[in-house]
Amino acid sequence: MLIKKPTDIRPSEITSKSHYLNRRKFMRAAAATGSTLVTGETLAAIIPKEPGTIIDEVIPSNYSTDEQPNSYKDITTYNNYYEFGIRKDDPYRNSKNFIPRPWSITVAGNTERTGEFAFEDIIKMHQLEERIYRLRCVEAWSMVIPWIGIPLAKIVKNLKPLSNAKYVVFETLYDPARMPGQRSRWLNWPYIEGLTIAEATNPLPILAVGLYGKVLPNQNGAPIRLIVPWKYGFKSIKGITKIYFSETQPRTSWELAAPHEYGFYANVNPEVDHPRWSQARERRIGSEQGAGLSSLFATPKQPTVMFNGYGEHVAHLYKGLDLKKHF
C-alpha cells in the first residue's frame, strides 16, 4: 500500500543530529506553506561528491511505502551490479576504488536538447525527494530501499523529446579497467535498458543519486541510476552515461543475452514464471526480526503482488497488452 507518511526509521538514526534538525526544519516549513514540492528555481539539487556524504534539503514523497526499509548494510552489500562481478558481494568489494565524479551524461536521439552534459547540470534544477520503494529482483528476492532522487518525468520533460520519440534508452559506463566485470563477455557491454515514453513520464520512476540520506554508494550505481519500482530490478540500470530517445524499441542487454527468459517490459508479475523458477512468491531480505542477509534462505516466502504493489499507478499503461506475451 502507498501512503503519505515517511518511514518508521528516524532520519536522526542515519544522519548527524545537526543535519537531521536542519532537514526537519525544512520539511516543516514546506508543510506549513502547503507545499510538498519546491520548484527548481527555488531550490536546486546539490549532490556532494563523496559517496556516503549526507545530502541536505531532501523532501519526503507521497509515493513512499510505509514498509520497514532494509538496513543500510543489507542494501549496500547484497545486490547485483555485474559490471563489478557476478556474486552478490562483488559490487561492494570491487567498487571501493571507483571514482564516480566528475561524470557526464550524453543525451542523443529524437530530442531537442542533445549533447554531453555534466551530471550536475542534468539534475541541478530539480528538488530532491526521498522515495521509499519496494525492490523486487527477478531472482525472487526483495528489499525496501529509501532512495533519494529526482522524478525521471521531470528530466525527460526538460530534455524536450520530439513527437517521434517512443522510447527512452539508457546506457551504463563502459570502462573495463575500472569495472572488472566488463572484462567478461557473457553480457554485451555496455549495459543497455529502456522504457517506453509513457513509462518514463509516469510519476513513479526516479533517477536516484542517494540512499538512506547519503550520496549513492559506488556499489549501488553511483553517481546516478534509474529506479522503476514496478519492474524487476534489472530494469533499474546503474551508472548511467547516456540517455537516448528512440523511435524504435531497443534490444536491451538481458533480452540479447537470454530472450526466452527476459523481456523488454519486465513488469513484476506473479502469474508469469521465469523459465527456471516461480515468480509467485519472494523472499524479503532481512525480514526475520532484524535478521540480515543470512535470512535469505531461512525466512518464509511472501506472495508477490502484481506490479510489485504499484498497480494503481501503472496498470493503465498496459491496457489491452498481453502481459504473458509481452513479459
- Which domains occur in the chain, in start order? 11-318 (3.90.420.10)
Question: Tens of pLDDT along 154-181?
Answer: 999 999 999 999 999 999 999 999 999 9
Collapse the DSSP code of 121 into the 3-class scheme (helix H, G, I; strand E, B; otherwise coil) and give the result.
Answer: helix
Give the Cα separation of 147 and 149 in Å (integer).
Answer: 6
Q: What is the pLDDT of residue 52?
A: 87
Give the Cα separation of 327 and 71 in Å (integer).
Answer: 31
Question: Tens of pLDDT along 254-272?
Answer: 999 999 999 999 999 999 9
Look at residues 133, 249, 271, 232 and name the one whose alpha carbon lies nearest to residue 198.
249
**pTM for this one?**
0.86
Q: And the C-alpha cell for 287?
A: 525480514
Alpha-carbon distances of 77 from 220, 265, 288, rounded to whole Å: 9, 27, 18
Do residues 6 and 71 touch, judged by C-beta distance below 8 A? no
